[in-house]
Structure 1
Amino acid sequence: MNKFWIVLFHTYLTKLRTKSFIISTIVMLLLTIGLTNLPKLLDLFDKKDSDVIGVIDLKGSLYEPFKAQVNAVNHDLKLKVIEDETKAKKLVADKKLTGFIILDQDASNMPQGFYKANSLSDSSISNDLASALTGVKSNLAARELKLTPQQIANISSPAGFKKTALEKNAKTEEELNQARGLVYILLFVIYFSVLMYSNMIAMEVATEKTSRVMEILISSVSPVQQMFAKILGIALLSITQMILFFGVGYFFIKQNLGDLNGGFFSFFGFGSTSISTVIYAIIFVLLGYFLYATLAAFLGSMVSRIEDVQQMTFPMTILVVIAFMIAMSGLSNPSASYVTVTSFIPFFSPMIMFLRVGMISVPFWQVAVSILILIVSIAVLAIFGGRVYRGGVLMYGSSKSLKDIKKAIQITKNT
C-alpha cells in the first residue's frame, strides 16, 4: 500500500511543479480576479467624455422634441446643432463628433433620420437615436389624432402579464433567471474540469510509456494500483487548483460586495447561491471526474506515443462535448423530456442532472438514482479499466484504435 501512496504523491507533486500547471493556474487566477473586480475595471475603462452627436435639422422643428426624447433614452448622449453636412463630416474626421444625424420628414410628413459615423460598431448609439426618433414620431402621430397625454400613456404602456408556477417549491421567474446564470457558469467549470484533468491522466500514462518508465514501475507496483494512484493524484491536483480559484474569488467578492450587488453579480445569481446547489456542483464535478478519469487512464495506457493520445481519447472528448451541448440547449427548457432522459445516462448525468437540480425542483429519488448509476458505472469502468490498463501498459507499437482494448484484455489474461 505504501507504493500506492508513493505513486499518488509523486503524480501530484510532479504535476504541481510543471510549467503548464503553474501558467494555467496564474491565468485562471487573473481571470477570477478580473471577474470579481469587473465593476471597477469597467469604471476604469469607461472614464471618457460623453459621445457628442451632431444634429442637422432640415425642417427646423424636429430638434427640440428629438433632444427631449434623447435625454429620456440616454442622458449621457450629448447633441450639438450643425448647420450643414460638410461641416459635420469635418467635425467627425477631427474626432470632435462621434457621428451626426440628419432629421427630415418622409412622404407622410413623419420624422425620419439618417445617421452617419466613421464606424457603426457601437450599435447602442444608433439604437438610442432610433428609439428617440420613434418617440418623436409617436408624439406627432398622437397629436394629429388629438389624443390626450393619458390616452398616449395607455397606448404605450405594456399589457399586464404575470406568471405563476403551480408546482410546490417551484422557482419564480427572477429565481429561474438567476439560477440559469449560475448553472451556466458552473457547467463550464464541470466541462473544463472533466475534460482537462481526464486528458492530463491520459497524457501522464502515455508519457511514462514513451520514456519506458512504465517498465520499471510495473515491476514494483501493480498496474491497477498505478492507475488509481494516478487518478487520485490528479484529483488532488484539481482540488488544489479549485481551492485556489474559489478562495481567491471568495476573497475578492467579499472585498467588492457593495459594487457587485446588482448587475453582472446579481444576474448570475451569486448573491443568492443556495448551499444545496454548491453541494450538488461538488458532487457531480467529482463523480464526472472519476468516471472520465478512469476511462482516460486505460485509453492512455494503450498508446505508446504522446502524439496518439488525442486520437485515442477522441471518443471520450465527443461524449463530454455532447453532454455539454445538451446541457446548454436545456438551459432554456430544463423540463424537456430529452433533458430528463439524458440526466440518467452516466456519461451525460454529471452536467445534465446538475442542470436540472440547479434550475428546477427535481424529486430527490431521481437525483439519488442518477448518483447511484454514476457510482455503479464508475465501479464497473474501474474493474474493466483495470483489466485493460494491466495489459495496455505492456503494449508497444502503433495503437490508435479502440479495437486494441480486446488485445489489452488478452494480454492481461496471459500475465
Structure 2
Amino acid sequence: MHSFWIIFKQAFWTKAKTKSFIITTLVVCAAFFLLANLPKILDAFQGSDEKPVLYIVDESGELAPRLQQQLELMESDLQTKPTDKSESELKDGIAAETIDAYVVLEQGEQLAARYVSKSANEMEGGSDLESAIQSLQTVLTAENLNLDATQVGQLFEPAVFEREAVSESSKSQEELSQARGLVYILIMLIYMSVIYYPNMIAMEVATEKSSRVMEILISSVSPVKHMFAKIAGIGTLGILQMLMFGLSGYMAIKTAGTSMTEGVFSVFGFSEVKISTFLFAVLFFLLGYFLYAVLAALLGSLVSRTEDVQQLMLPMMFLIIVASFIAFSGISVPEAKFVTVASFIPFFTPLVMFLRVGMLDIPLWEPLLSIALMLLTIGLLGWFGARVYRGGVLMYGSSQSLKDIRKAITLGNKK
C-alpha cells in the first residue's frame, strides 16, 4: 500500500505543479471575477454616468408627449427629448458624436417610426422603444374606433394559459425553468471533466513509457497498482480543481455587488435547487471520471509515443460526444424515450441520467439502477483494463490500432 500512495502523490503533484495546470486554473478563476464585474468595468470605460438622450422628431407636436407617457408607464430608463431641429442638423450631430440617436414619428393610416443612429447595430433601449411605439399605435387605433379605456383593456386582455402534465415524473414549467440552467451548467462540467482528466492520464502513461521510466516503475510496483494510483491521483486533482472553479464562481457572483447576482442565481436555478441534485452531480462526476479514466489508462498503455495517444483515444471521445449530444438534446424533452433508454447505458449515464434526475421527478430506483450498472461496468472494465495495462506498459514501438489489446493481454499473462 505504501507504493500506491507514493505513485498517487507523484501523479497528483506532477500535474499540479505544471505551468499549464496552474495557468489554466488561474485564468478560469480570474475569468469568473471578470465576467461578474463586467458591468462595472464597462461603466468605468464609458467614463460618464449620463445616459444617452434619444431625440424625438414630431412635426405634429402631439405624438412625442404621448410616446414619453407610454415610456413612463413602462417605467423605462430611456431618456427622450422632443426637438425642433431638422434631420440634417441631427445627422450632423450624430456624425460629430454630440447626438447619439433620434426617432422620427409620423402618423398616417397608422403610426410610423424611423430610428436613426450612427450604426444599425446600436439601439439604446430598443425593446422599450418598440414596445412603447406599439402601445401608442394601439391607443391611437382605439381612439379612431371610438373605443373607451375599458374596451381597449378587454380587447387586449391576455388569455389564461396553463400547462398541466399527466406524467407523474414531470415537473411544472416553473420548476423546469429553474432546473434547466443548473442542469445545463453541471452537464457541461461533467462533459469537460470526463474529457480532460482521463486524457491527462493517457498522456501521463504514454509519457512515462516513451521516457522508459515505466520500466523502472513496474520493477518495484505491480502495473495494476500503478494504474489505479494514477487514476486516483489525477482524479483527486480534478476534484480539487473543480472545487476551486465552483468556489471562485460563487464568490465572484456574490461579491460583484451588481443587480446580476440575484438574476444569475434565479435564472440558473441555484436559489431553489435541491441538495439531492448537487449530490447526484458529484456522484455522476466521480463515476463518469473513473469509468472513462480506466478506459483512458487502458488505451494509454498501448502506445509508447505521445503522438499516438489522440488516435487511440478517438473511440472514447466518440462515446463522450454521443452522450453529450443526447443530454443536450434531451434538455428540451427530458421524458423522451431515447433519453430514458440512453440513461441506463453506462457510458452515457453520467450525463443523461443526471439530466433526468435534475429535470424530472423519477423513482429513486432508476438512478440507483443506473449507478449499479456503472459500478458493475467500472469493475469489469477495471478487471479487463488491468489485464491490458499489465502487458501494455511493456509494449514499445508504433501502436495505432485497438488490435494491440489482444497482444497486450497475451504479454501480460506471460509476465
Same fold (TM over 0.5): yes
Which is worse superposed, 206-215 or 60-69? 60-69
- Counterparts of 1:292-371 in structure 2, within 5 Å, are 292-371=292-371
Q: RMSD over aligned Cα, in angstroms?
A: 2.4
Shift of 1:59: 4.2
In 2 relative to 1, CA 373–219 (structure 1 residues): closer, same or farther, beyond 3 Å? same
SS of the aligned residue for 2:271 comes to helix
In structure 2, C-alpha distance between the alignment counterparts of 1:357 and 1:117, rounded to whole Å = 49
In structure 1, C-alpha distance between the alignment counterparts of 2:199 and 2:231, rounded to whole Å = 11
In 2 relative to 1, CA 78–253 (structure 1 residues): closer, same or farther, beyond 3 Å? closer
Is 1:410 matched with 2:414? no
- Counterparts of 1:145-160 in structure 2, within 5 Å, are 145-160=145-160
Q: Residue 105 of structure 2: which of 103, 121, 132 is its match?
A: 103
In structure 2, C-alpha distance between the alignment counterparts of 1:199 and 1:214, rounded to whole Å = 18
In 2 relative to 1, CA 82–328 (structure 1 residues): closer, same or farther, beyond 3 Å? farther
In structure 2, C-alpha distance between the alignment counterparts of 1:169 and 1:305, rounded to whole Å = 50
Q: Match of 2:67? A: 66
In structure 1, C-alpha distance between the alignment counterparts of 2:65 and 2:50, rounded to whole Å = 23
Which is worse superposed, 288-297 or 60-69? 60-69
Shift of 1:41: 6.2
Equivalenced residues, count: 413
CA deviation profile, 1:314-341 (whole Å, cap 9, x unmatched):
2211211221121111111111111111
1:51 is matched by which residue type in structure 2? Answer: P
In 2 relative to 1, CA 122–376 (structure 1 residues): closer, same or farther, beyond 3 Å? farther
In 2 relative to 1, CA 252–92 (structure 1 residues): closer, same or farther, beyond 3 Å? closer
2:25 is matched by which residue type in structure 1? Answer: T
In 2 relative to 1, CA 267–362 (structure 1 residues): closer, same or farther, beyond 3 Å? same
Name stretches of at least 5 consecutive residues in structure 2 with no aligned partner: none
2:63 is matched by which residue type in structure 1? Answer: L
Q: Match of 1:274? A: 274
Assess if the C-alpha contact under 8 Å between 2:254 and 2:261 holds in 1.
Answer: no
Shift of 1:170: 5.2
CA deviation profile, 1:4-37 (whole Å, cap 9, x unmatched):
2211111111111111111111122223444666
- Counterparts of 1:47-126 in structure 2, within 5 Å, are 48-73=49-74, 75-80=76-81, 81-106=83-108, 109-122=109-122, 125-126=125-126
1:97 is matched by which residue type in structure 2? Answer: I
Shift of 1:66: 2.1
Name stretches of at least 5 consecutive residues in structure 1 with no aligned partner: none
In structure 2, C-alpha distance between the alignment counterparts of 1:192 and 1:159, rounded to whole Å = 44
CA deviation profile, 1:249-301 (whole Å, cap 9, x unmatched):
45556657996663121111111121111110110000000000011111111
In 2 relative to 1, CA 100–273 (structure 1 residues): closer, same or farther, beyond 3 Å? same
CA deviation profile, 1:53-107 (whole Å, cap 9, x unmatched):
222224443222222223344632122325221111111122222222222245x
Which is worse superposed, 97-106 or 325-334? 97-106
In structure 2, C-alpha distance between the alignment counterparts of 1:39 and 1:125, rounded to whole Å = 16
In structure 1, C-alpha distance between the alignment counterparts of 2:98 and 2:15, rounded to whole Å = 55
In structure 2, C-alpha distance between the alignment counterparts of 1:123 and 1:39, rounded to whole Å = 18
Shift of 1:238: 1.1
In 2 relative to 1, CA 48–100 (structure 1 residues): closer, same or farther, beyond 3 Å? same
In structure 1, C-alpha distance between the alignment counterparts of 2:35 and 2:192, rounded to whole Å = 18
In structure 1, C-alpha distance between the alignment counterparts of 2:45 and 2:363, rounded to whole Å = 47
In structure 2, C-alpha distance between the alignment counterparts of 1:7 and 1:366, rounded to whole Å = 37
In 2 relative to 1, CA 150–236 (structure 1 residues): closer, same or farther, beyond 3 Å? same
Q: Match of 1:393? A: 393
TM-score by length of 1: 0.92
In structure 2, C-alpha distance between the alignment counterparts of 1:61 and 1:35, rounded to whole Å = 44
Is 1:204 matched with 2:204? yes
Q: Match of 1:374? A: 374
SS of the aligned residue for 1:182 comes to helix
In structure 1, C-alpha distance between the alignment counterparts of 2:248 and 2:114, rounded to whole Å = 49
In structure 1, C-alpha distance between the alignment counterparts of 2:255 and 2:114, rounded to whole Å = 47
- Counterparts of 1:219-298 in structure 2, within 5 Å, are 219-251=219-251, 262-298=262-298
SS of the aligned residue for 1:271 comes to coil
Assess if the C-alpha contact under 8 Å between 1:261 and 1:271 holds in 2.
Answer: no
1:215 is matched by which residue type in structure 2? Answer: E
Assess if the C-alpha contact under 8 Å between 1:334 and 1:356 holds in 2.
Answer: yes
Q: Match of 1:141? A: 141
In structure 1, C-alpha distance between the alignment counterparts of 2:208 and 2:125, rounded to whole Å = 58
TM-score by length of 2: 0.92
SS of the aligned residue for 1:158 comes to coil
Shift of 1:135: 1.5
SS of the aligned residue for 2:80 comes to strand
2:151 is matched by which residue type in structure 1? Answer: Q
Identity %: 48
1:64 is matched by which residue type in structure 2? Answer: P
1:407 is matched by which residue type in structure 2? Answer: K
Q: Match of 2:130? A: 130
Assess if the C-alpha contact under 8 Å between 2:53 and 2:80 holds in 1.
Answer: yes
